[in-house]
Chain A
Amino acid sequence: MNDDYLWDKTGQPDPEIQKLEEILGTLRYEPRPFVLPRRRNYFPLLAIAASILLAIIAGSIWLRVRSGDEVPRQEAKLESPTPKPLEAPQPPRTGSALNPPLHASNRIRKPRSAPSVVNDEEALAAKEQLMLALRITTEKLSLVHRKTQPNQIKNQHRIG
Chain B
Amino acid sequence: MYATADMLLTSTQAHAAEQSKEPVIEVMLVRAVLEGDRDSFGRLYDLYAPLVHGILLARVPRAEVADLVQDIFLHAFKKLHTLRDSAAFGPWIAMIARNRAVDFHRRSKETVEINDDLRGSDTHDSKAREILELIRSLPEAYRETLVLRLVEGMTGPEIAARTGLTAASVRVNLHRGMKLLREQLGVMEGL
The chain A residues found within 8 Å of chain B, CB to CB, are: 1, 3, 6-9, 16-17, 20-21, 23-29, 31-32, 34, 36-37, 39, 151, 154, 158
**Contacts A17-B178, A34-B42 known; A26 to B124 CB distance under 8 Å?**
yes
Chain A residues contacting B171 (CB-CB under 8 Å) are: 3, 7
Tell me if B169 counts as interface (CB < 8 A to partner A). no
Tell me if B132 counts as interface (CB < 8 A to partner A). yes
The chain B residues found within 8 Å of chain A, CB to CB, are: 3, 7, 11, 14-15, 36-38, 41-42, 45-46, 49-50, 53-54, 57, 62, 66, 69-70, 73-74, 77, 124-125, 127-129, 131-132, 147, 149-153, 155-157, 171, 174-175, 178-179, 181-182
- Shortest CB–CB separation between residue A29 and chain B, in angstroms? 4
Chain A residues contacting B175 (CB-CB under 8 Å) are: 3, 6
The secondary-structure label for the interface of chain B is: helix
**Contacts A3-B3, A34-B70 known; A23 to B128 CB distance under 8 Å?**
yes
Chain A residues contacting B151 (CB-CB under 8 Å) are: 24-25, 27-28
- Shortest CB–CB separation between residue B160 and chain A, in angstroms? 10
The secondary-structure label for the interface of chain A is: helix
19 examples of A-B residue contacts, CB within 8 angstroms: A6-B149, A7-B171, A7-B174, A8-B157, A17-B150, A17-B178, A20-B150, A20-B181, A21-B153, A23-B124, A23-B127, A24-B132, A27-B128, A28-B53, A28-B151, A29-B54, A29-B69, A34-B41, A151-B36
- Whether the pair B131, A6 counts as a contact (CB closer than 8 A) is no
* CA–CA, A17 and B7, complex, Å: 20
* CA–CA, A7 and B127, complex, Å: 24
